[in-house]
Structure 1
Amino acid sequence: MGDFMILKLAELEEAEVRQAAGVFVEGFYDSLRVIAADAGKLARALEHALVKEQFFVALEEGRVLGIFGYSVGQKRPFRFDLAVLRRELGWLRGTLFYHLVRHELEKPLNLTKHQCYFEAVATAKEARGRGVASQLNNELVTRLGYADYFLEVVDTNVNAIRLYEKLGYVEFRRKPQRWFRKQAGFNARIYMRWMPVKDNLGG
């Protein structure tokens, strides 16, 4: 496992925030490419939407190796601006993307004050296999100190599922993807839960 700096996105420079957007696009490209095939264009379109206080990153010598977004209460890690999306993606694609993501983000998570939902988890391709996601997960659990953690992963992401299982997450729900499975690149969303013991939280 590597020894990376774990920082909030809010602590980084603009160039590093841009890298973080690129890592997100790289990690979710199979789903995002239906909007635009150009990864650089997607990163420019989404950079503004990252809520910097709701993201942590793994940083090594100025390179962003991984990102972890989280939601608590009503705070989500994304906030989209329709005008920016239209400018970067074009009027039609930008409008379509905005309404799709707004619908998703407006769904209530129904979290209690003791619960935290991890999302937008991604590791840069060149850093995979180095324990980046594991270290981010463990660091966030220690820093945030919630009693109950949730995350979502698609069924085709077998490597991520195995990783989360090793970290102690257990599947508790599976939601089939009803429409456009081929375009989305997965058949179902898997929801996993981890309730760390007190010692893991330093208490």
Structure 2
Amino acid sequence: MIPTLHINPVLSERQRRQAALVYYQSFAGNFAPLSRSPRQVVRLLCRALNPERTVVVFAGDRVVAVAGMRFRGQQMLHFRLSHLARHLGWWQGLLSQTTTGYLLRSQEPDELLVDGLAVRESWRGRGIGKRLLTAIKEIACSEGLSVVRLEVEADNSAALGLYRKMGFREVFFWEQDPLPPEEKISMEWPVHPETYRELSPEKNRFPGRIHRR
């Protein structure tokens, strides 16, 4: 079956759950502040999903990959306090909203920030990640943005290889302080390389130590 790619898709409730599950399975550790229950986190992700900042790949009517974007004040996941409170209770919901808000990455006005590429395990190695990145780059061009930026774990050699092949260049890496410590690399793809100025690492407001590449 040839997978089909959709930008800003109209998703059924079942497909929203599938997209949330695929995303969670790739980035489960990022959502630890929300809940220790995977099922509960997937329900929250399903509620928070914003199709206007989402690219989805289908095999038939089944979601096999999803990518999130953030630009012009909107992002793939928007956690409302009412949704968090409904699933976690008001106190835990407020705490989770504060924590997830603190972890959100900052960005420049002319920048598209990739909120993650997630491919269902059984569909990896088929060029789907490349298709997602190509679509995101085309969106950045059509929206008149200057750069696409993403972060990747320093030890994820497969992802680093893909991003380099797709024209992304390493700008700096940062070490996150919470235990266990994490090292991530910030990479950028300039829409107009001849006029683009690299992002200053001081504008990347992650907690931790930042080092120029």
TM-score range, shorter chain: 0.7 to 0.9
* 1:15-38, Cα deviation, whole Å (9 max, x unpaired): 111111111111101332464343
For the residues of structure 2 that align with 1:91 and 1:125, how far apart are their CA atoms? Answer: 35
Q: Answer whether contact 1:175 1:189 (CA < 8 A) is retained.
A: yes
Letter aligned with residue 134 of structure 1: K
Aligned length in residues: 190
Partner residue, 1:109: 107
Letter aligned with residue 135 of structure 1: R
Partner residue, 1:126: 122
User: How do 1:130-141 and structure 2 match up within 5 A?
Assistant: 130-141=126-137
Shift of 1:144: 4.0
For the residues of structure 2 that align with 1:81 and 1:68, how far apart are their CA atoms? Answer: 21
Partner residue, 1:17: 16
For the residues of structure 2 that align with 1:89 and 1:24, how far apart are their CA atoms? Answer: 20
TM-score of the pair, normalised by structure 2: 0.78
Go from structure 1 to structure 2 and tell me whether the alpha carbon gap of 1:85 and 1:158 turns closer, same or farther (over 3 Å shift). Answer: farther
For the residues of structure 2 that align with 1:31 and 1:10, how far apart are their CA atoms? Answer: 24
For the residues of structure 2 that align with 1:93 and 1:156, how far apart are their CA atoms? Answer: 33
Partner residue, 2:196: none
Deviates more, 1:84-93 or 1:124-133: 84-93
For the residues of structure 2 that align with 1:129 and 1:37, how far apart are their CA atoms? Answer: 30
1:61 has 2:60 as partner: yes
Go from structure 1 to structure 2 and tell me whether the alpha carbon gap of 1:162 and 1:14 turns closer, same or farther (over 3 Å shift). Answer: same
* 1:101-155, Cα deviation, whole Å (9 max, x unpaired): 12233x541232xx32211321112211121111111123224424421111122
Shift of 1:48: 1.3
Letter aligned with residue 125 of structure 2: G
Go from structure 1 to structure 2 and tell me whether the alpha carbon gap of 1:70 and 1:60 turns closer, same or farther (over 3 Å shift). Answer: same
1:194 has 2:189 as partner: yes
* 1:138-192, Cα deviation, whole Å (9 max, x unpaired): 1232244244211111224332222212222111021210122x2xxx5122110
Q: Identity over the aligned pairs, expressed in percent?
A: 25
Shift of 1:14: 1.6
Partner residue, 2:38: 39
Q: Which has the higher helix share?
A: 1
- Stretches of structure 1 that go unaligned for 5 or more consecutive residues are 199-203
Partner residue, 1:201: none
* Highest RCO, 1 vs 2 (Cα 8 Å, sep ≥ 6): 1
Q: Answer whether contact 1:156 1:187 (CA < 8 A) is retained.
A: no
Partner residue, 1:152: 151
Letter aligned with residue 12 of structure 1: L
Partner residue, 1:51: 50
Q: Answer whether contact 2:33 2:96 (CA < 8 A) is retained.
A: no
Go from structure 1 to structure 2 and tell me whether the alpha carbon gap of 1:154 and 1:91 turns closer, same or farther (over 3 Å shift). Answer: farther
Computed over aligned residues only, the root mean square deviation of the Cα atoms, in angstroms, reads 2.4
Deviates more, 1:189-198 or 1:61-70: 189-198
- SS of 2:177's partner is coil
Shift of 1:74: 2.3
- SS of 2:83's partner is helix
